Amino acid sequence: MEKQVLFTIFGATGDLASRKLYPSLFRLFKRGELAEHFAVIGTARRPWSDAHYREVVLDSIADLANDKRQAEHFASHFYYQSHDVADAEHYITLKNLGEKLSSQYQTLGNQVFFLAMAPQFFGTIAQHLKSEEILTGKGFERIVIEKPFGESLETATELNDALSQVFDESQIFRIDHYLGKEMIQSVSAVRFANPIFEAVWNHQFIDNIQITFAESIGVEDRGGYYDRSGALKDMIQNHVLQVLSLLAMEKPETYDEASILEEKVKALQAIRKYNPQEALENFVRGQYVSGEFDGQNFIAYRSEPNVAPDSRTETFVAGKFLIDNERWAGVPFYVRSGKRLTEKGTRINIVFKAGQNSLFGTNEQNVLTIYIQPTEGFSLTVNGKQAGAGFDIEPLRLAFRHDSEYLGNSPEAYETLFLDCLNGNGMNFSHWQEAKRAWELIDVIRQAWDSEKSDLPEYPARSMGPRAAFDLLERDGRSWSWVPDQWYRERGLLGTETEIK
Ligand code: NAD
Tell how far the Cα of 15 is from the centroid of ligand 1, in angstroms.
7
404 has pLDDT over 90: no
Residues 442, 151 contacting (CB under 8 angstroms): no
What is d(CA 440, CA 451) in angstroms, rounded to the nearest whole number?
17
Q: Which helix (H) or strand (E) holds 469?
A: helix 467-474
**In the structure, what pLDDT confidence band is assigned to residue 66 with cuts at 50, 70 and 90?**
very high
User: pLDDT per residue over 450-467, tens digit each?
Assistant: 999 889 999 999 988 999
Write the residue with the smallest CA distance to atom 1 of ligand 1: 14
- Nearest protein CA to atom 23 of ligand 1, as residue: 14
Could you report the per-residue pLDDT of 265-312, keeping only the tens digit for each? Answer: 999 999 999 999 999 999 999 999 999 888 899 999 999 999 999 999
CA 472 to centroid of ligand 1, rounded, Å: 37
- Is residue 148 within 8 A of residue 238, CB to CB? The reply is yes
Of residues 178, 202, 190, 176, the one with CA closest to residue 377: 190
Residues present in the chain in total = 501
pLDDT digits over 117-143, tens only? 988 899 999 999 999 999 999 999 999
Q: For the chain, give the percent of residues with pLDDT over 70.
A: 92
Distance 91 CA to ligand 1 centre (A): 19
Looking at residue 16, its amino acid is: L
- 406 pLDDT tier (thresholds 50, 70, 90): very low
Q: 225: Cβ below 6 Å to ligand 1?
A: yes
Atom 37 in ligand 1: which residue has the minimum CA distance? 16
pLDDT at 270: 98
Q: Which DSSP symbol is given to 328?
A: T
| Ligand 1 within 6 A of CB of 16 | yes
Whether the pLDDT of residue 499 is over 70: the answer is no
Query: Across all residues in the chain, what is the average pLDDT?
Result: 90
Ligand 1 centroid – CA 274 distance (Å): 34
Given a cut of 90, is residue 389 above it in pLDDT?
no
For the chain, the 3-state helix, strand and coil shares in percent, each to the nearest 5, are: 40, 20, 40
Banded model confidence at residue 17, pLDDT cuts 50, 70, 90:
very high
Selected residue with higher pLDDT from 384 and 78: 78
Examine the pLDDT at 487 and tell me if it is beyond 70. Answer: no
Q: How confident is the model at residue 497 (pLDDT cuts 50, 70, 90)?
A: very low
What is residue 135's predicted lDDT score, i.e. its pLDDT?
98
- Residue 44 beta carbon below 6 angstroms from any ligand 1 atom: yes
What pLDDT score does 355 carry?
Answer: 75
φ, ψ for residue 348, nearest 5 deg: -120, 130
Q: How far is the CA of 16 from the centre of ligand 1 (A)?
A: 7
Residue 501: pLDDT over 50: no
> Ligand 1 atom closest to Cα of 83?
20
* 249-259 average pLDDT score: 92
Cα separation of 401 and 347, whole Å? 12
Alpha helices for 21-134 (secondary structure H): 22-30, 50-60, 68-75, 88-104, 122-131
Q: Where do the DSSP E strands lie in 109-223?
A: 111-115, 141-145, 172-175, 206-214
- Ligand 1 centroid to residue 476 C-alpha, Å: 43
Each residue of 149-159: pLDDT tens digit?
999 999 999 99
* Number of the ligand 1 atom closest to the C-alpha atom of 17: 26
List, in order, residues 6 or more apart from 272 with CB less than 8 Å away: 321, 322, 323, 324
**Widest distance between CA atoms in the chain:** 84
Q: Please, which pLDDT band fits residue 227 given cuts at 50, 70 and 90?
A: very high
Mean pLDDT for 232-236 is: 97
Query: Cα of 41 to ligand 1 centre, how many Å?
Result: 16
Q: pTM of whole model > 0.85?
A: yes
Share of the chain above pLDDT 90, in %: 74
Mean pLDDT of 228-240: 96
CB of 11 closer than 6 angstroms to any ligand 1 atom: yes
Q: Is the CB of 224 under 6 A from ligand 1?
A: no
- Look at residue 372 and tell me whether its pLDDT is greater than 90: no
Q: Which residue out of 77, 239, 402, 431 is catalytically annotated?
A: 239
Is the CB of 119 within 6 Å of ligand 1? yes
Looking at residues 359-381, what average pLDDT do you find? 83
pLDDT of residue 411: 52
Which domains, ranges and CATH numbers included, belong to the chain?
5-146 (3.40.50.720), 179-498 (3.30.360.10)
Q: With CA atoms as reference, report the closest residue to 361 among 406, 339, 392, 333.
A: 392
Q: Is 150 in the pocket of ligand 1 (CB under 6 A)?
A: no
Active-site annotation holds for 239: yes
Is there an atom of ligand 1 within 6 Å of 218 CB?
no
- CA quadruple 456, 461, 467, 468: dihedral sign: positive
Per-residue pLDDT at 403: 55
**Exposed e or buried b per residue across 277-292, where buried means at least 16 C-beta atoms within 10 angstroms of its C-beta:** ebbbebbbbbbbbebe
393 lines ligand 1 (CB under 6 A): no
Residue pLDDT, tens place only, 350-359: 999 987 676 7
Q: Which atom of ligand 1 is nearest to the CA of 44?
A: 21
pLDDT at 492: 55
Give 394's pLDDT tier (boundaries 50, 70, 90).
confident
CB-side neighbour CA atoms (13 Å) of 349: 23
Q: Using pLDDT thresholds of 50, 70 and 90, give the confidence band for residue 190.
A: confident
For ligand 1, atom 6, the nearest C-alpha belongs to 11
| Ligand 1 close to Cβ of residue 147 (< 6 A) | yes
Question: Residue 408: which pLDDT band, with cuts at 50, 70 and 90?
Answer: very low
User: Do residues 223 and 347 lie in contact, with contact meaning Cβ atoms separated by under 8 Å?
Assistant: no
What is the rounded average pLDDT of the residues 223-252? 95
C-alpha dist (Å) from residue 203 to 200, 215, 471 = 8, 30, 23
Regarding predicted confidence, which is higher, 159 or 404?
Answer: 159
